[in-house]
Amino acid sequence: MPGSASFDWRAFAFRPAAVWAAWGLWCVVVLVLLPLRGFEPQGPDDYMRLFEVRDLLAGQGWYDVTQYRVNPPEGASMHWSRLVDIPLALVALFAGERAALIVVPLLYLLAALFALRAILRKLGFGALATGIGLLIMPMMPLLAEQFMPMRIDHHAPQAVVGLVAVALLVDGGRVKAALAGVLGAAWVAISLEGLPIIAAIAGVLGLAYWWHDDRRLGAFLGALAMAAPAFSLATRPVSDFALPYCDILMPGHMAAFAAAAVTALALPFAPAQQSRNGRLAGLAMIPLVCGPLAFVMLGECAADPFARLDPLLEQYWHGYITEGLPIWRQPLSVAAVLAWTLALVLVGWHRLRLGKSEAEVRPLDTLGLIAVLACLYSFMLMREGVFAQWLAIPFAASLLAEYLPKARALTSPLPRIAATLACFGLATPMFVSALLKPLDPVFASDTMRAGMDAPIDLRGCDLSQLALLEKGLVLAPLDIGPAILGQTPHNIVMASYHRNAEEMHDVLAFYTGSMEQGRALADKMQPDYVVACASKADLALYRTAAPDNMANLLVSGEVPDWLEPVEGFAEGPLSVYRVR
């Protein structure tokens, strides 16, 4: 029609409104699905984060993150940071708890999409690649679930903090490198799992100083060194640093950050820094100074705290947590996701470098190096694949933008459809994971195979029924404990939080051990009720320990006389007994 203006999607793809549109589309989809998923937190950590926020708003001390409904009256010791509680508490305070559960994960996603857009713009992506980059997140298998409503654990926010930091580094400049250092400090204050990535980023900036005389390393490390103790002291009491745990940022880490920062800031003024060899020799001083300092001050905490994990906890808890295991202990489909993500980064990085000038390649190389190191770290710790897949999105989007138009240009319908599907199949890890899923049992580790072979009752357990019973202390398998806290007024003996290794051991020993061992442990733990849910994977795994152990006796109903079946729970997968 004359005078009418058609919608220019290419121009729209470059506008901030494109981020809002992509985010709004995701919000519509997930909110439509929300009633099907339910309005309860999705996992144990989501429940426990909710309790932490509830307790804070109810008046529990800012520095006190102990969960007192677990292992009462002492409570369960937690190492979590209040930094993650802040957005949840603010939204809950002004809009209610349910709004916080729904809105906060979506706000994390919005921040991630804006950071992703900044990266795509800096790399000079065209309209098609930018649009694909903003929309492709649901096709990255490790990402979508992390940003669903009711998912409020700390994994999503720390990945977003890392992504924003990388976006600042890709954009360049010392001020932005300093801001990235502040975000890096927030990451390691939330979780020490971010420490290898922070070291990797420092290494990439060190390479830039060596090769290009790029002086952002000092700004990054200086901000990191100042912000790390600030975040730690703002969210933890000084007494925490004297506890016998190795799961938080310690003075040894902070001292190493400070030493690295001082050395990096002094390097440009050292002799022979005009040459690459001189700069390389100067950079070597950083690990020589920081390494011994960290090892001396950290002592045993310099080692992997899970290396000396109790064998029972390793076999029936940690060894079965897929997200905490290395790639060689993963099901084949999960290992393929991690490997495919690295392949996307390498192939996409190579394709993007072709024909680029040195100035254009430098931000691309910053992203590529950090993405490769993040992928390699995910090989050691699977859940870090969340961060790695965010960094892989630009490379996947570039490949799709290059090959998808060629596929769509085919004239024959069947080849065109096949080529289009192949583009998406090759440029995302989703399809390789789905194809290999049936082979997981064939290549499973011993622990995983035991879990796969364990007897599972397909009927779900309605834990809210426990609310009908008089309030008491419940001995339950570790994974369902937080849900019992969320859906009932009861307290629980313990849940899966590693600082409480002795209590966790007792729970596992109760379910996996003999009737006699169960009696002795029940006398020690003094529960009012013992619960077994035959539809949960953790109890099924416990049942594989021995045919006549407590887990099997509880499910079969052939319990010793010191356990009394509770009326109303005789049928179905949920078994409840009162301790006499």
State the DSSP H helix or E strand holding residue 564, giving kind and residue range, or none if neither: strand 563-565
* Token pair for 338: 């991690």
Distance CA 441, CA 447 (A): 11
Least confident of 306-310, 371-375, 383-387: 306-310
Cα atoms found within 13 Å of the Cα of residue 169, Cβ hemisphere only: 36
pLDDT tens digits, one per residue of 57-104: 999 999 999 999 999 999 999 999 999 999 999 999 999 999 999 999
Domain architecture of the chain: domains with CATH: 13-42+79-400 (no CATH), 456-579 (3.40.50)
Distance CA 407, CA 152 (A): 39
- Give the pLDDT of residue 3: 47
Distance CA 106, CA 142 (A): 16
416 pLDDT above the threshold of 90: yes
How is 14-73 classified by DSSP, letter by letter? TSHHHHHHHHHHHHHHHHHHHHHH-SS-SSHHHHHHHHHHHHHHTT--TT---BTTBSTT
pLDDT tens digits, one per residue of 255-303: 999 999 999 999 999 999 999 999 999 999 999 999 999 999 998 888 7
Distance CA 338, CA 318 (A): 20
- Give the pLDDT of residue 131: 95
- Give the pLDDT of residue 1: 45
Q: Other C-beta atoms within 10 Å of 7: how many?
A: 7
Distance CA 384, CA 197 (A): 9
Alpha-helix residue ranges (DSSP H) falling in 244-331: 251-266, 276-283, 285-298, 311-316
- Give the pLDDT of residue 453: 67
Which residue type sits at 34?
L
Q: For the chain, give the percent of residues with pLDDT over 90.
A: 79
Whole-prediction pTM value? 0.93
pLDDT tens digits, one per residue of 212-241: 999 999 999 999 999 999 999 999 999 888
Q: 488 — phi, psi (to 5°)?
A: -145, 170
CA-closest candidate to residue 170, choices 180, 182, 161: 180
CA-closest candidate to residue 117, choices 137, 103, 131: 131
